[in-house]
Amino acid sequence: MGKTTGFLEYERKEGPVRAEEVRVQDFMEFHERLPLTEQSRQAARCMDCGIPFCQAGVMISGMASGCPLHNLVPEVNDLVYRGRMAEAYRRLSVTHSFPEFTSRVCPALCEAACTCGCHDTPVSTKENEKAVIEYAYEHGLVEEPLPPVRTGKKVAVIGSGPSGLAAAQLLNRRGHEVTVFERKDRIGGLLRYGIPNMKLDKSLIDRRVQLMEQAGVRFVVNADVGKTVAAADLLREYDALVLACGASNPRDIKAPGRDAKGIYFAVDFLGSVTKQLLDSRFEKYPDKQVRDKDVIVIGGGDTGNDCVGTCIRLGARSVTQLEMMPQPAEQRLPSNPWPEWPRILKVDYGQEEAIWKFGSDPRVYQTTVKEFLKDKKGNLKGAVLVSLKPVRDEKTGRMNMVPVEGSEREVPAQLVLIAAGFLGSEKYVTDSFGVELDSRTNVKTAPGEYASSQEKIFTAGDMHRGQSLVVWAISEGRGAARAVDEMLMGYTNL
Q: Are 286 and 415 in contact (CB under 8 A)?
A: no
Give tens-digit pLDDT for 446-469.
999 999 999 999 999 999 999 999
Does the pLDDT of residue 380 top 90, yes or no? Answer: yes
Q: At CB < 8 A and 24+ separation, what contacts does 337-340 make?
A: 338/113, 338/117, 338/118, 339/53, 339/56, 339/60, 339/65, 339/66, 339/112, 339/113, 339/118, 340/60, 340/61, 340/63, 340/65
Give tens-digit pLDDT for 88-121.
999 999 999 999 999 999 999 999 999 999 989 9
3-state DSSP assignment of residue 185:
coil
- Which amino acid does the sequence have at 288? K
> Residue 395: its pLDDT value, please?
85
Does the pLDDT of residue 396 top 90, yes or no? Answer: no
Return all residues near 407 (Cβ < 8 A) that are at least 6 apart.
386, 387
Does the pLDDT of residue 320 top 90, yes or no? Answer: yes
Give residue 195's pLDDT band: very low, low, confident or very high (50, 70, 90): very high
pTM, two decimal places: 0.96
Q: At CB < 8 A and 24+ separation, what contacts does 285-289 make?
A: 285/27, 285/313, 285/314, 286/314, 287/314, 287/315, 289/314, 289/415
- Which amino acid does the sequence have at 370? K
Does the pLDDT of residue 154 top 80, yes or no? Answer: yes
> Residue 383: its pLDDT value, please?
98
Give residue 394's pLDDT band: very low, low, confident or very high (50, 70, 90): confident
Percent of the chain exceeding pLDDT 70 equals: 100
Q: Average per-residue pLDDT in the chain?
A: 96
Q: Which structural domains are found in the chain, ordered by start?
A: 6-138 (1.10.1060.10), 154-248+423-489 (3.50.50.60), 263-418 (3.50.50.60)
Phi, psi values for residue 412, rounded to 5°:
-75, 145
Q: Are strands 380-392 and 409-412 parallel, antiparallel or unpaired?
A: antiparallel
Does the pLDDT of residue 164 top 80, yes or no? Answer: yes
> Residue 435: its pLDDT value, please?
97
Q: Are 319 and 308 in contact (CB under 8 A)?
A: yes
